[in-house]
């Protein structure tokens, strides 16, 4: 795998060395235009659960990390010290339930605050970004998640299938295992165009039947039930859009992997590393330009030999063993994030630059520590946000600045034409030069 993403030559060399050419429109243009092709912007949203240890993770003052140093929890990022930014005083104003976890992390919605609805979310910023950045790629976005031993209820993520929510506020299913991501990205015997077209035709036929049956039913329903049916058909339309995209790409072969598929039962740290590595391959081959990853927590803890659920660990209080376990978890999380940044810097883009230089990366959680919903952690990296002030801990002057302001700022740095998002009330000028 490392040969694929760390080749010191341009990606053209990699394509020639591969068993098949990656027949993607972006790469075809590159082959014709030469190495002067401008790389696209990419966005990566990484989210954990239950935050970090209050006293050992968060810097106490603003300034350059070169001057104020890194905290114990951030210490594994030392080699990337000048390429990361941490922003304080951000709060997800839509989050009112600490057990709701990351359900509104990328949306900012108050999921229980819509009159007449028990639960209602809105579009997440990764899916909004995908509407603009994902039109020329096989996958408009990739939503990654993880199988947790208890289904995720103890991981600080709350309801949902990933960090991603579509335009109707419905959860986007996540790719949970490295093996599933492998099969999503790379060719398999079942990817023959004729078989793909047959599967697509079958799915579209089922949707036609659903639409006809539902259309006749709607005339007999109450207004409330009609609204529910409209929401359902909006979801059907989203599936149809996905099928249309698959149909456009059905005759364009996926790349063949130069490494074996991962094993079935990989979890915890090893699974996160594999997901990170394949995520980078997806960006490097332009299979997608937008990725969200709802990181596992419980399986990471168990793999570290910590016999506590993430929710139990978040209640560390004055228990010294639990505090130490929480600190170990923090260091492991930032060690893995440092690994991801290593890979981004090693991977080459189409013009020979580092993939890192064209990515905007956000790493954080919807909770600060334990069950605290205010002043959530926000770590940024990548060179795609050209005006981002790097290598600093920045404390915003206003407490409870909307987290939506961060998503708005990052999307504008990705050249997405957007003036507001969720509960935002402006861009974060303090983090820009």
Which residues have C-beta within 8 Å of that of residue 261, sequence separation ≥ 6?
Answer: 179, 182, 183
Name the pLDDT band for 227 (thresholds 50, 70, 90). Answer: low
Distances (CA, A) of 205 to 84, 124, 146, 221: 49, 30, 31, 25
Q: DSSP string covering 27-91, please?
A: HHHHHHH-TTPPPPPEEEEEE-SSB--HHHHS-SS-EEHHHH---TTTGGGGGGGGGEEEEESEE
Name the pLDDT band for 369 (thresholds 50, 70, 90). Answer: very high
Q: What is the pLDDT of residues 41-84, one digit of tens each?
A: 999 999 998 899 999 999 999 999 999 999 999 999 999 999 99
- C-alpha angle 206/212/213, rounded to 5°? 90
The more confidently predicted of residues 118 and 91 is: 91
Which residues have C-beta within 8 Å of that of residue 243, sequence separation ≥ 6?
Answer: 200, 203, 204, 207
Distances (CA, A) of 357 to 132, 386, 413: 20, 9, 13
What percent of the chain clears pLDDT 70, i.e. is strictly above it?
75
Q: What is the pLDDT of residues 3-47, one digit of tens each?
A: 444 433 333 333 333 322 233 333 433 334 344 478 999 999 999
The bridge status of strand 290-294 relative to strand 142-144 is parallel
Closest CA to 96 of 422, 424, 373: 373
What is the C-alpha to C-alpha distance for residues 97 and 366, in angstroms, rounded to an integer?
Answer: 10
Of 67-76, 209-218, 260-269, which range is least confident?
A: 209-218
User: What residues are paired with 359 via a beta bridge?
Assistant: 42
**Per-residue pLDDT for 338 more than 80?**
yes
Closest CA to 191 of 126, 257, 251: 251
Domain ranges of the chain: 2-187+256-431, 188-252
Q: What is the pLDDT of residues 187-209, one digit of tens each?
A: 665 656 666 456 545 555 554 55
For domain 2-187+256-431, the CATH superfamily is Alkaline Phosphatase, subunit A (3.40.720.10)
């Amino acid at each position: 795998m490392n040969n694929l993403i760390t080749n010191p030559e341009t990606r053209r060399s990699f394509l020639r060395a591969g068993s098949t050419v990656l027949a993607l429109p972006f790469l075809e243009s590159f082959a014709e235009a030469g190495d002067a092709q401008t790389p696209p912007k990419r966005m990566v949203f990484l989210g954990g659960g239950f935050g970090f240890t209050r006293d050992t993770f968060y810097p106490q003052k603003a300034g350059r990390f070169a001057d104020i140093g890194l905290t114990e929890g951030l210490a594994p990022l030392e080699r990337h010290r000048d390429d990361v930014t941490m922003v304080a005083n951000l709060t997800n104003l839509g989050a009112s339930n600490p057990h709701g976890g990351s359900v509104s992390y990328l949306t900012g919605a108050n999921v229980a605050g819509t009159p007449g609805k028990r639960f209602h979310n809105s579009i997440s910023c990764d899916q909004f970004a995908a509407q603009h950045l994902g039109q020329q790629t096989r996958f408009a976005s990739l939503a990654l998640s993880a199988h947790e031993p208890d289904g995720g209820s103890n991981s600080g993520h709350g309801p949902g299938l990933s960090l991603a929510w579509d335009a109707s506020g419905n959860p986007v299913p996540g790719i949970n295992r490295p093996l599933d991501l492998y099969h999503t990205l790379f060719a398999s015997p079942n990817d023959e165009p004729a078989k793909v077209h047959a599967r697509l035709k079958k799915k579209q036929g089922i949707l036609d039947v659903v639409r006809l049956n539902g259309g006749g039913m709607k005339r007999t329903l109450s207004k409330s039930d009609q609204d529910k049916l409209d929401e359902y058909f909006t979801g059907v339309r989203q599936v149809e859009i996905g099928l249309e995209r698959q149909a456009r790409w059905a005759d364009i072969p996926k790349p063949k992997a130069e490494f074996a598929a991962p094993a079935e039962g990989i979890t915890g740290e090893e699974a996160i590393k594999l997901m990170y590595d394949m995520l980078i391959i997806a960006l490097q081959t332009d299979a997608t330009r937008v990725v969200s990853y709802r990181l596992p927590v419980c399986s990471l803890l168990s793999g570290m030999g910590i016999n506590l659920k993430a929710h139990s660990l978040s209640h560390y209080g004055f228990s010294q063993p639990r505090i130490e376990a929480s600190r170990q978890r923090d260091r492991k999380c930032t060690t893995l994030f440092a690994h991801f940044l290593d890979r981004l810097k090693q991977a080459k883009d189409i013009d020979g630059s580092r993939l890192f230089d064209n990515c905007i990366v956000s790493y954080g959680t919807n909770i600060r520590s334990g069950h605290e919903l205010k002043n959530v952690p926000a770590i940024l990296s990548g060179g795609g946000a050209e005006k981002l002030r790097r290598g600093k801990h920045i404390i915003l002057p206003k407490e409870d600045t909307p987290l939506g302001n961060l998503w708005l700022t990052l999307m504008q740095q990705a050249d997405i034409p957007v003036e507001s998002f969720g509960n935002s009330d402006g861009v974060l000028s303090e983090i820009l030069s």
